[in-house]
Structure 1
Amino acid sequence: MSPHPALEPLPLVRIAVDCMGGDHGPSVTLPACRAFLERHPAAELVLVGTADALAAASGLPRTRCVVASEVVAMDDPVEVALRKKRDSSMRVAIGQIKLADPAMAAHACVSAGNTGALMAVSRYLLKTFDGIDRPAIAALLPNARGRFTKVLDLGANVDCSAEHLLQFAVMGSALVSALDGLEEPTVGLLNIGEETIKGSETIKRAGELLRAAHAGGHINFHGNVEGNDIFKGTTDLVVCDGFVGNVALKTSEGLAGMLSQMIKEEFTRSAWTKLAALVAMPVLNRFKARVDHRRYSGGALLGLRGLVFKAHGSSDALAFETALARAYDAARNRLLDRVHHRIAETLQAMPSGDTAAPQAA
């Protein structure tokens, strides 16, 4: 892969926020926005929500409020969000990316709303890059190396072809490059074993495409990886379909929560264990922070002609602030330009028939 053209970080980043999305809406999103602005002096926010909700945002610095009359509920069908609620906070927030005036347009959008609706509306309004059939959700998971493993897809695409998995690898490599500064991030294909003969026919075919892309110098393909490799940090990026990725994500979050609860129970069994807990408190707090999924919130919808980030629907203020920070870092480091460059260079250079036909945007 040839080096990406020099891209200076953006001096100011403007993020559109769907203040009504998620299980808790403005009671979470607005405090998160306030905390985010305090920590990011080079950021501006476009707050989108109902007039009543935005009244509580009065006085926030570096913000602009945009009123929307409708809200996409967490259980709304995709068709309702896409065709009936045309003035929803979600749709209006995403639309801020497409404003013609650069001085007003947002560089990214963040929402904790309905995942299916967010993906559908984002794809409808922003379109995908040529050569990308489906956007994918990419997020970070902590690993034993003290860093993060990027994983995609995490739920946007339940059924994927081998060509889709190749596209995910290309987009994910651009994500790692933008966020971590690695020009040649390693890519692993999630499978039930490291051997090339294992896995479904789709996974085997995806392995062939990824090895061909590696041979051509387009991606740095490590090979097949297993579930435990995500947390070992074997590769910088792990690629899988959305069904497997979502199960892996929710399993890891559940395991981290269970371990934290078990440790708490053991340290509160008696006066002696409570005393031991006081002594061990600094270590316990550091452990809790390392496995706290709220600190890894913010999945990027990669493949779109605009940056959209998805926070957990159940996000509290810390988790939503983390998602805002993730979007800020991606926009500031020109993730969209990097994805476009890598997609164009990789997919166009692949031999004819090795990729899916480009989709018109």
Structure 2
Amino acid sequence: MRIAVDAMGGDLGPRAAVAGAASAVMADPDLDILLFGPAGQLDDEISRLPRPLVAAASSMDVIDAPGVVRQDQRPAQVLRGEQTTSMSGMLACLARGEAQAGVSAGNTGALMALARRALGMVAGMSRPAISTAIPTRREGRCYLLDLGANVEVEAQRLRDFALMGEVMARRIDGQERPRVGLLNVGVEGTKGTFSVQHADELLRQETALEYLGFVEGDAIFSGDVDVVVCDGFVGNAVLKASEGLARMLVRRVQATFEAHWSSRLVGWLARPALARLRGELDPVRYNGASLLGLDGIVIKSHGSADTAGFHYAVARAAREVTHDLPACLAQELGRRGSVG
């Protein structure tokens, strides 16, 4: 399985992308990685790989792409620019069928625009939606979408997001009947904006969907719903707030146990449980957001992702390749019919 990686996006530069991709290869030897970026810089990063990851270098090839999409560039500017960047090279490789999935930690708006142009959409979808998994109280996960690709969303788009999220939860996670909720300021039928109210009407017509109606924000974490749909403005705010809360809780717990000698003793005894809690809450484990609706697999890694975070993004891409998610979306959404 070949994964194309835009190695130049992200806050930590190519080091996190190269080491993260190498780590993913060590965990899954069936992976081959194509690294896009300035060849000299990427070769240097490969030469600096920690000893446990050195063996992965044989499964990683560098493709020279001298340009870099800056985080402050507007999508329209990137679309008009020369297609010599690491991001455009990665997507062109994917469009030619030379890789089965692409991963980037770069400019989200540019990635959306370039991916849509390079790969096209499935089943009449007009724009991709960004979705990621959120850990829940019942040791499962809930898919939240959209996370920022579509800030203002009409009812038909929300309906399409629900269909895509349901297919992903069913095909990728093997859930027989994923439960779908529409995020609102209350569960009462009279609340919410016009687009949310209309989306509720459309979703109630989808008899094949396990639609629960309106849900509030706490439902994302309760385990009572498997897919939560909202517009990109709300979704992005919810995601960033939940990541910040998770980090704060872990730090507060650590600080509490380190505050006094007796607390440190209890903390030492509770170390396995604390390590498990830290792992369950760490947003790094859930890094890798899917750009749903594209006629191809593109994973957006968090811009601040470190080596471990980028590893998870590559692993997410590989998982979607295994299940051929775009083909599943095309088949099922084509049968149901997009209304947008």
TM-score bucket (shorter structure):
over 0.9
1:152 alignment partner in structure 2? 145
2:129 alignment partner in structure 1? 136
The answer on whether the counterparts of 2:136 and 2:220 sit within 8 Å (CA) in structure 1 is yes
Q: Does 1:179 align with 2:172?
A: yes
Matched pairs, number: 331
2:286 alignment partner in structure 1? 296
Once the two structures are superposed, residues 241-274 of structure 1 have per-residue CA deviations (whole angstroms, 9 ceiling, x without a partner) of 0001001100101111111111122111122222
Instruction: State the TM-score, normalized to the length of structure 2.
Output: 0.94
Q: Which runs of 5+ in 2 are unaligned?
A: 48-54
SS class of match (2:58): coil
SS class of match (1:70): coil
Give 1:335 shift. Answer: 0.7
Q: Does 1:47 align with 2:35?
A: yes
Runs of 4+ in 1 over 6 A off after TM superposition: none
1:63 alignment partner in structure 2? 60
- Residue of structure 1 aligned with 2:262, choices 257, 272, 276: 272
Once the two structures are superposed, the pairs formed by residues 311-322 of structure 1 within 5 Å of their partners are 311-322=301-312
The answer on whether the counterparts of 2:150 and 2:232 sit within 8 Å (CA) in structure 1 is yes
CA root-mean-square deviation: 1.4
2:89 alignment partner in structure 1? 92
**Matched residues in 2 for 1:148 and 1:276: separation?**
30
1:240 alignment partner in structure 2? 230
The answer on whether the counterparts of 2:122 and 2:329 sit within 8 Å (CA) in structure 1 is no
Q: Which runs of 5+ in 1 are unaligned?
A: 1-12, 349-354, 357-361
- Residue of structure 1 aligned with 2:300, choices 300, 310, 314: 310
SS class of match (1:160): coil
1:255 alignment partner in structure 2? 245
Give 1:130 shift. Answer: 3.6
Give 1:183 shift. Answer: 4.3
The answer on whether the counterparts of 1:207 and 1:223 sit within 8 Å (CA) in structure 2 is yes
Name the aligned partner's letter for residue 233 of structure 1: G
**Matched residues in 1 for 2:303 and 2:249: separation?**
22
Give 1:81 shift. Answer: 2.1
Give 1:110 shift. Answer: 0.3
Give 1:155 shift. Answer: 0.7
Once the two structures are superposed, residues 77-111 of structure 1 have per-residue CA deviations (whole angstroms, 9 ceiling, x without a partner) of 22332221411001100111111xx5xx1111000
The answer on whether the counterparts of 1:126 and 1:304 sit within 8 Å (CA) in structure 2 is yes
Q: Does 1:28 align with 2:34?
A: no
Instruction: State the TM-score, normalized to the length of structure 1.
Output: 0.89
Identity percentage of aligned residues: 40
2:204 alignment partner in structure 1? 211
**Matched residues in 1 for 2:333 and 2:222: separation?**
28
